[in-house]
Amino acid sequence: MRSSRGFTLVELMIVLAIIAIVAAIAVPSYQSSIDAGRKTSAINNLLGALQFARSEAVTRRSDQVKVCASGGGSGCSGNDWSAGGVVLDGATLLRAIPPAPGVTITGDAITFNDDGTTTASSISIAGKSISVNIVGAAKLN
């Protein structure tokens, strides 16, 4: 009797074909999961930065703490959020907000007063809106 060891070429080709079919089905679904994760991450980073800025304004008793688009530099640059954002106390960098590739963010700088209040404003991110009310509380709408 001859014992069989290993697989035949036909068996290996069938397994490779099955793997290729499963991969072709899974990759587009995986890409949408990655995009959703990027959007969620960008929203959470911005919400965290807004809460941090409000806390720092109260802790430092400063009315110059602001969250704004960095535009690639260490200061504010209008509303070009493509390079991320920053949290500043005057000219002092407190925190950098990382850029979110593939996620559109629009909105002007938000400045917090020394008691944590601000003017009501909002930032649009990935088709959603983060609003900051006059007492400085940020929430996702």
Domains present along the chain, CATH in parentheses: 9-140 (3.55.40.10)
79 versus 55: which is more confidently predicted? Answer: 55
% of the chain exceeding 70 in pLDDT: 94
Half-sphere exposure of 95 (CA within 13 A, CB side): 19
Checking if the pLDDT of 102 tops 90, the result is no
Predicted confidence band at 77 (pLDDT cuts at 50, 70, 90)?
confident
Token pair in block for residue 1 = 């009797």
- Check residue 32 and give its pLDDT: 84
Which residue intervals of 61-139 are DSSP H helices?
none
Per DSSP, the three-state class of 40 is helix
Q: What contacts 25, CB < 8 A, 6 or more positions away?
A: none
- Residue 121 β-bridge partners: 132
Checking if the pLDDT of 6 tops 90, the result is no
Token pair in block for residue 128 = 């959603």
Nearest alpha-carbon partner for 46 in 60, 63, 67: 67
- Check residue 78 and give its pLDDT: 73
- Residue 130 β-bridge partners: 123, 140
- Check residue 2 and give its pLDDT: 65
Q: Locate tokens 């990655």: which residue?
A: 34
How do residues 14-63 score in pLDDT, each as one tens digit?
999 999 999 888 888 888 888 889 999 999 999 999 999 999 999 999 98
- Check residue 3 and give its pLDDT: 67
Token pair in block for residue 114 = 């020394």
